[in-house]
Amino acid sequence: MAITEVIEDEGERSPLPIRVRLASMRDYEELCGLFDELDEVHRQARPDMFQPFPPPARTREQVANWLARPESTVLVAQSEEGVVGLAVLLSRDPSGFAGAVPRKVIEVDNLVVRADQRGRRIGRRLLAAAVEWARQRRATHVEVTVHDFNRDAKRFYGNFGFASSVDRMVLAA
């Protein structure tokens, strides 16, 4: 299961001139900085589920794999200050259940905006580009998984038009 959180609010700051583009391996260090921010939010909110781990935040091999496969990608928001946001997009395998309606799903696995640039509609522009990428691949649905603690992410996706489909409940054994 993908665990997606958006770290972006829809504040009142003026929009930042950005260009959303496909990431490349030249972006690797900036991507890791953004993943570090995202990982820290998870560790702070859910230390029972997330723990510190040795750098890098994501391996070069993992990022290269996302970029090389046609069913996945990483989009970045580029400003004059560098990479200020990212979205990881993954195709999900169709359900093997005979009763499931055939669907082609693109999952927004991660979406994060640099802390000092939040509230400037960067996340919204990344998400719009993610949906367009999915449509170009003839996806029938775009999905995202959000931890219950992240109310800002729930509001962000809801404002974009996403609706809850499943509530996953957990019991510590």
Convert the pLDDT of each residue in 100-115 to its tens digit. 999 999 999 999 999 9
pLDDT in tens, 102-155: 999 999 999 999 999 999 999 999 999 999 999 999 999 999 999 999 999 999
Note the pLDDT tens digit of each residue in 58-67. 999 999 999 9
- Delimit the domains of the chain by residue range: 6-160
Global pTM value: 0.90
Distances (CA, A) of 1 to 90, 93, 145, 158: 11, 11, 8, 20
The fold adopted by the segment(s) 6-160 is: Aminopeptidase (3.40.630)
42-46, 67-71, 94-98: which has the minimum mean pLDDT?
94-98
